[in-house]
């Protein structure tokens, strides 16, 4: 076997795309197209769904996103630019096993999320952020910690995304500087979401995912199936295999081969990624927003489709590009990239440019920018939602201060009365905004005034809160503007540090792993307490950081080589595992010692706090009106009511998760580990399987979402037409000047 010598001398990377071309493509191409899509989406919300002025619609896209659109959006938001860049880095360090086990770990995280998101839907269907649940159950201390956790997670994701974007543009663009790069990223992240909100992100994510699959398919076809004579000596499967089989792989791999899935470091990375991906996914508000935006049935199935679509993208890319890079380096007799360049994710840009010239650069730029736009805009929306719902509404300018978790925000009286006490608690009797004629008149008056806010609303029950939400609407716009503006200075700040893409992707998420249990128990366990989740999260965080530093100091160079040694496999493993298990033990122990849940009634009262998280102008009952009507839910909706509604969705989630986890956690590993070192035929089978998987996914991604979304829009249009006809008939029979309130069952009061 041959060991490749380290790269020495000047870099072999030579950017080929002009700076002006990059600017035109990104700002006018991607940016202009996204603004057009934002305008289309906003028009649909205004003229078809009639909820363009609802604050909640900005952050949940109406709560009825289709199955296929959910699938492609989850796929797009989980396809970080680092997946295109860093997966090849992991493959270069651990061989094919590194890429496969990393992808399996991330998919297992995706498969776990549907069940957790169902708990959120049954326990707090009106919540827009996960810290809202902590505030309702535990009060200020836990809420503040969860808000900080959510914002730190957003910063972690944004850091990884921005560094990956910087890497891609610098590698592909001539004379690009940091100011130019981060200004472009800020425009791409914030331009369209400020117009259409989260819903536009779903539409853009469709185009992102579709273009990504098309670009990968084109790359595979022109390099692996029909290569030119100048590149076939390094890009065909036979040439890759013949070169890589002669190279000496890392210690810990079977026979020191890159062509094996029996990789010690690859398996360790897989375990680390399970904790890292799960903690980032669970603690990232951007992920929760995508889940909240779809009904449970669509969301659950959409997640499973997303897992299968995501799995193939980084694996197919990393297998192809990394093996090609090894073949190129073998021909050269030495590594073509330095260790620092490999850690920064330069393998894919280098290989794609070498194989396809400027076309390869444009294909990679398209994939990366699509991923950047989807993930980046999701983070902008996530930070904005936390600032609006959890900071501004809660602490800076609440509509009504000093409310209990079960109080009505409109009148301040209790919605849930404890009949075991003898006090004269005043009970809320506010009618619902559903079917409120005065509210309909107020909305119509605002539309007749050009959609301007500040109209004098006449509804005596809901008018004051509508004024308050108008102010929130204007505040959220400025909030988004400032979040987008801060991208530029933050990007310049992290550029001045020595943080590379590898450490940003693997090292920083150590901070979030201790909060998996606190968040999970907050949403699922009625006996969880504030003392338990706070103590578990804080102590677990200390243990995670200590584990990373102690283990990192044992490597050569110690902590003086901080970003390298703290991102080593065992440093990450010790940090993730110690924080996770210690946090869980403390959360359970302290909560069991401090909870006050003694009966089923106590448990129901605990979840009543989270069920009370709702917008009185846009109650969650509207989203589930069909399902509630089918089970004759009555005026009071409890967690048990939502459990009845989502019983089938939970069954689908359990069965789907069981089958999928068996496939990815048992079948795929069993097959992969059964091979010691891949033969040419086995290597070809694995590569071709992933490549054909990409082609099949491309067909599904491109055609199904627009068809399903078009049908949903058409059904809503027909429903509006029928309602308008009925309204006109009633208007002819109803005397002038009458105003009706309608209760939660739709009966006129």
Average pLDDT value for residue range 275-298: 77
Give the dihedral sign, CA 453/456/462/465.
positive
In angstroms, the CA 559 to CA 552 distance is 6
Q: pLDDT-derived band of residue 395, with 50, 70 and 90 as boundaries?
A: very high
Q: Which of 315, 251, 197 is nearest to 691 (CA)?
A: 315
Token pair of 644 as six digits: 């009845």
Grouping H, G, I as helix, E, B as strand and the rest as coil, residue 227 is: coil
Alpha helices in 501-554 (DSSP H): 501-506, 516-524, 530-552
Query: How many CB atoms are closer than 10 A to CB 732?
Result: 6
In angstroms, the CA 381 to CA 289 distance is 9
Q: Taking 80 as the threshold, does the pLDDT of residue 245 lie above it?
A: yes
Output the pLDDT for position 680. 93
Q: Please state, for a pLDDT cut of 90, what percent of the chain lies above it.
A: 21
Q: Tokens 């909100």 identify what position? A: 197
In angstroms, the CA 622 to CA 35 distance is 29
What would the pLDDT profile of 190-213 be if each residue is shown by its tens digit? 776 766 666 677 777 888 888 889
Token pair of 517 as six digits: 């249990």
Q: What is the pTM of this model?
A: 0.81
- Do 646 and 122 contact (CB within 8 A), yes or no? yes
Q: pLDDT-derived band of residue 287, with 50, 70 and 90 as boundaries?
A: confident
In angstroms, the CA 583 to CA 504 distance is 23
- Neighbour-count burial of 46, counting CB atoms closer than 10 A to its CB (0-12 exposed, 13-18 middle, 19+ buried): middle
- In sequence order, which residues have a C-beta less than 8 Å from that of residue 376 and are 6 or more positions away? 158, 161, 162, 185, 188, 189
- Do 379 and 80 contact (CB within 8 A), yes or no? no
Q: Taking 50 as the threshold, does the pLDDT of residue 109 lie above it?
A: yes
Which residues face 2 on adjacent strands?
247
597 vs 724, higher pLDDT: 597
- Do 172 and 351 contact (CB within 8 A), yes or no? no
Output the pLDDT for position 56. 56
Q: Tokens 């910063």 identify what position? A: 155
Q: Which of 679, 686, 673 is nearest to 244 (CA)?
A: 679
Q: Which CATH architecture has domain 65-398+443-503+646-700?
A: Up-down Bundle (1.20)
Q: Please state, for a pLDDT cut of 70, what percent of the chain lies above it.
A: 88
Average pLDDT value for residue range 456-479: 84
- Do 620 and 552 contact (CB within 8 A), yes or no? no
- Do 461 and 436 contact (CB within 8 A), yes or no? yes
- Name the E strands within 420-545: none
Output the pLDDT for position 132. 92
Phi, psi (rounded to 5 degrees) for 586? -70, -40
Q: Which of 2, 682, 683, 679 is nearest to 331 (CA)?
A: 2
What would the pLDDT profile of 505-520 be if each residue is shown by its tens digit? 777 888 888 999 999 9
In angstroms, the CA 659 to CA 576 distance is 27
Phi, psi (rounded to 5 degrees) for 640? -65, -35
Q: Which of 601, 605, 127, 612 is nearest to 412 (CA)?
A: 612
Query: How many CB atoms are closer than 10 A to CB 502?
Result: 24
Average pLDDT value for residue range 323-338: 88
In angstroms, the CA 42 to CA 195 distance is 7
Instruction: Give the DSSP letter string of 686-726.
Output: HHHHHHHHHHHHHHHHHHHHHHHHHHHHHHHHHHHHHHHHH
In angstroms, the CA 10 to CA 704 distance is 48
Average pLDDT value for residue range 325-336: 88
Average pLDDT value for residue range 97-122: 84
In angstroms, the CA 116 to CA 114 distance is 5
131 vs 501, higher pLDDT: 131
Domain ranges within the chain, ordered by starting residue:
65-398+443-503+646-700, 512-612
Task: For residue 584, give the H/E element and its range.
Answer: helix 569-594
Angle between helical axes of 285-292 and 140-172 (0-180°, round to 10): 100
7 vs 114, higher pLDDT: 114
Output the pLDDT for position 748. 43
Please tell me which of 78-87, 534-543, 712-721 the model is most confident about, judged by mean pLDDT.
Answer: 534-543
Q: Per this entry, what is the length of the chain?
A: 749
Q: Taking 80 as the threshold, does the pLDDT of residue 6 lie above it?
A: no
In angstroms, the CA 684 to CA 272 distance is 29
Average pLDDT value for residue range 301-322: 88
Distance of CA 490 to the CA centre of its chain: 21
In angstroms, the CA 735 to CA 725 distance is 18
Average pLDDT value for residue range 681-708: 91
What would the pLDDT profile of 415-457 be if each residue is shown by its tens digit? 765 544 445 667 888 888 888 888 888 887 777 766 566 667 8
Output the pLDDT for position 141. 93
Q: Taking 80 as the threshold, does the pLDDT of residue 34 lie above it?
A: no
Least confident of 47-61, 225-239, 572-586, 665-679: 47-61
Least confident of 92-106, 295-309, 326-340: 295-309
Task: For residue 273, give the H/E element and its range.
Answer: helix 264-283
Q: Tokens 């992290």 identify what position? A: 494
Average pLDDT value for residue range 709-733: 77
- Do 104 and 304 contact (CB within 8 A), yes or no? no
Task: For residue 157, give the H/E element and its range.
Answer: helix 140-172
Which residues face 173 on adjacent strands?
17
In angstroms, the CA 677 to CA 245 distance is 9
Please tell me which of 172-181, 350-359, 584-593 the model is most confident about, judged by mean pLDDT.
Answer: 584-593
Please tell me which of 414-418, 583-587, 638-642 the model is most confident about, judged by mean pLDDT.
Answer: 583-587
Grouping H, G, I as helix, E, B as strand and the rest as coil, residue 564 is: helix
Average pLDDT value for residue range 321-332: 90
- Do 677 and 254 contact (CB within 8 A), yes or no? yes
In angstroms, the CA 628 to CA 623 distance is 10
671 vs 730, higher pLDDT: 671
Average pLDDT value for residue range 332-354: 84
Q: pLDDT-derived band of residue 585, with 50, 70 and 90 as boundaries?
A: very high
Mean pLDDT of the chain: 82
- In sequence order, which residues have a C-beta less than 8 Å from that of residue 608 and are 6 or more positions away? 405, 406, 415, 416, 638, 639
Average pLDDT value for residue range 619-644: 78
Q: pLDDT-derived band of residue 742, with 50, 70 and 90 as boundaries?
A: very low
Average pLDDT value for residue range 372-382: 81
What would the pLDDT profile of 142-183 be if each residue is shown by its tens digit? 999 999 999 999 888 888 888 878 877 877 777 778 888 888
């Amino acid at each position: 076997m041959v060991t490749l010598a380290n790269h020495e001398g000047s870099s072999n990377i030579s950017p080929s795309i002009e700076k002006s071309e990059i600017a035109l493509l990104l700002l006018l191409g991607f940016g202009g197209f996204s603004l057009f899509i934002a305008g289309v989406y906003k028009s649909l919300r205004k003229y078809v769904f009639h909820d363009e002025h609802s604050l909640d619609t900005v952050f949940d896209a109406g709560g009825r996103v289709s199955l296929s659109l959910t699938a492609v959006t989850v796929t797009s938001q989980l396809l970080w630019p680092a997946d295109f860049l860093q997966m090849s880095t992991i493959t270069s360090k651990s061989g094919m096993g590194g890429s496969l086990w990393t992808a399996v770990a991330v998919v297992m995280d995706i498969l776990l999320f549907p069940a957790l998101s169902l708990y959120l839907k049954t326990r707090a269907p009106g919540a827009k952020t996960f810290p809202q649940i902590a505030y309702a159950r535990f009060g200020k201390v836990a809420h503040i910690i969860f808000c900080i956790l959510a914002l730190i997670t957003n910063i972690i994701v944004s850091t990884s995304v921005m560094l990956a974007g910087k890497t891609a543009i610098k590698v592909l663009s001539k004379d690009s500087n940091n100011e130019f790069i981060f200004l472009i990223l800020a425009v791409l992240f914030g331009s369209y979401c400020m117009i259409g909100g989260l819903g536009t992100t779903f539409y853009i994510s469709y185009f992102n995912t579709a273009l990504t699959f098309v670009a990968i398919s084109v790359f595979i076809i022109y390099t692996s199936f029909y290569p030119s004579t100048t590149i076939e000596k390094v890009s065909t499967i036979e040439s890759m295999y013949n070169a890589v089989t002669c190279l000496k792989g890392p210690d810990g791999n079977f026979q020191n081969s890159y062509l094996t899935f029996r990789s010690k470091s690859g398996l360790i990375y897989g375990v680390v990624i399970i904790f890292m991906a799960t903690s980032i996914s669970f603690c990232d508000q951007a992920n929760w927003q995508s889940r909240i935006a779809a009904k449970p049935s669509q969301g659950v199935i959409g997640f499973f489709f997303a897992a299968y679509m995501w799995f193939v993208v980084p694996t197919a890319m990393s297998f192809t590009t990394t093996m090609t890079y090894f073949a190129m380096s073998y021909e050269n007799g030495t590594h073509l990239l330095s260790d620092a360049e490999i850690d920064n994710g330069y393998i894919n840009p280098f290989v794609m440019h070498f194989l396809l010239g400027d076309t390869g650069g444009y294909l990679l730029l398209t994939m990366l920018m699509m991923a950047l736009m989807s993930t980046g805009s999701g983070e902008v929306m996530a930070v904005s939602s936390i600032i609006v719902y959890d900071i501004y509404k809660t602490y800076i300018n609440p509509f009504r201060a000093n409310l209990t978790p079960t109080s009505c925000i409109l009148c301040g009286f209790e919605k849930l009365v404890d009949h075991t006490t003898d006090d004269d608690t005043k009970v809320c009797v506010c009618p619902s905004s559903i079917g409120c004629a005065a509210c309909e008149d107020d909305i119509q008056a605002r539309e007749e005034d050009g959609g301007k806010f500040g109209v004098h609303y006449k509804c005596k029950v809901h008018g004051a809160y509508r004024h308050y939400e108008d102010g929130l609407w204007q505040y959220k716009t400025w909030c988004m503007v400032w979040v987008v503006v801060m991208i530029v200075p933050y990007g310049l700040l992290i550029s001045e540090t020595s943080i590379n893409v590898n450490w940003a992707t693997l090292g920083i998420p150590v901070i979030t792993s201790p909060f998996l249990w606190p968040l999970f128990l907050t949403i699922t366990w009625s006996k969880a307490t504030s003392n338990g989740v706070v103590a578990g999260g804080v102590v677990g965080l200390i243990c995670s950081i200590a584990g990373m530093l102690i283990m990192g100091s044992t490597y050569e160079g110690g902590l003086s080589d901080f970003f390298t040694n703290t991102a080593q496999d065992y440093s990450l493993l010790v940090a993730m595992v110690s924080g996770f298990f210690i946090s869980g033990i403390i959360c359970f122990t302290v909560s069991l010692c401090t909870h006050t849940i003694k009966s089923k009634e106590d448990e129901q009262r605990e979840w009543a706090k989270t069920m009370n998280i709702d917008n009185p102008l846009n109650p969650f009952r509207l989203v589930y009106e069909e399902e509630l009507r089918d089970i004759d839910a009555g005026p009071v909706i409890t967690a048990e009511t939502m459990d009845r509604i989502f019983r089938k969705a939970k069954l689908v989630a359990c069965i789907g998760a069981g089958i999928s986890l068996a496939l990815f956690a048992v079948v795929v590993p069993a097959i992969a580990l059964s091979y010691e070192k891949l033969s040419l035929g086995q290597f070809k089978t694995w590569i071709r399987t992933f490549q054909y998987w990409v082609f099949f996914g491309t067909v599904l991604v491109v055609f199904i979402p627009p068809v399903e979304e078009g049908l949903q829009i058409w059904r809503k249009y027909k429903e509006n037409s029928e309602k308008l006809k009925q309204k006109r008939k009633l208007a002819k029979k109803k005397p002038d000047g009458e105003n009706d309130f309608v209760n939660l069952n739709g009966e006129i009061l």
